Homo-oligomer: A and B are copies of this chain.
Amino acid sequence: MHPTYTLTISCPDRVGIVAKVSNFLAMYGGWITEANHHSDLEVQQFFMRHEIRADSLPFGLDAFRTAFSPIAKEYDMQWQISDSQTRKRVVLMCSKEAHCMVDLLHRWQSGELACDIPLVISNHQDLQDLVEWHGIPFVHVPVRKDNKAEAYAEIERLIDEAQADTVVLARYMQIIPPALCEKYAHQIINIHHSFLPSFAGAKPYHQAYERGVKLIGATCHYVTEELDAGPIIDQDIVRVNHRQTAADMVRLGRDVEKAVLARGLMWHLQDRVLVHGNKTVVFN
Interface residues of A (CB under 8 A from B): 15-16, 18-20, 22-23, 25-27, 29-42, 47, 56, 98-99, 102, 106, 110, 112, 133, 195-199, 211-215, 217, 231-237, 241-243, 245, 251, 255, 259, 278-282
A110 touches B106 (CB 8 A): no
Instruction: Check if B235 sits within 8 Å of A213, measured CB to CB.
Output: yes
The reply to whether B234 and A214 form a contact with Cβ atoms under 8 Å apart is: yes
Interface residues of chain A: helix, strand, loop or mixed (majority): mixed
Residues of B within 8 A of A22 (CB): 18-19, 22-23
User: Shortest CB–CB separation between residue A54 and chain B, in angstroms?
Assistant: 14
CA of A237 to CA of B133 in the docked complex: distance in angstroms?
A: 32
**Contact between A237 and B234, CB atoms less than 8 A apart:** no
Contact B31 A23, beta carbon cutoff 8 Å: no
5 examples of A-B residue contacts, CB within 8 angstroms: A15-B29, A15-B31, A34-B39, A42-B245, A98-B106
Report chain B residues within 8 Å CB of A35.
18, 37, 39
B243 touches A38 (CB 8 A): yes
The 9 closest A-B pairs by CB, nearest first: A212-B279, A19-B26, A19-B22, A16-B26, A35-B37, A18-B22, A242-B281, A198-B198, A214-B235
User: Which residue from B99, B213, B251 sits with its C-beta under 8 Å from A232?
Assistant: B213
Q: Which residues of B contact A47 (CB under 8 A)?
A: 242
Does B259 contact A255, Cβ atoms closer than 8 Å? yes
- In the assembled complex, the CB of A228 is this many whole angstroms from the nearest CB of chain B, namely 11
Inter-chain contacts of A235 with B (CB < 8 A): 213-215
- Nearest residue, chain B, Cβ from A199: B197
Q: From A240, which residue of chain B is reached at the shortest CB distance?
A: B235
Check A211 against B197 for contact (C-beta < 8 Å). yes
By beta carbon, the residue of chain B nearest A1 is: B247
> How far is A215 from B278 in the complex, measured between Cα atoms in Å?
16
Residue of B whose beta carbon sits closest to that of A14: B31
The reply to whether A231 and B212 contact each other, CB–CB distance below 8 Å, is yes
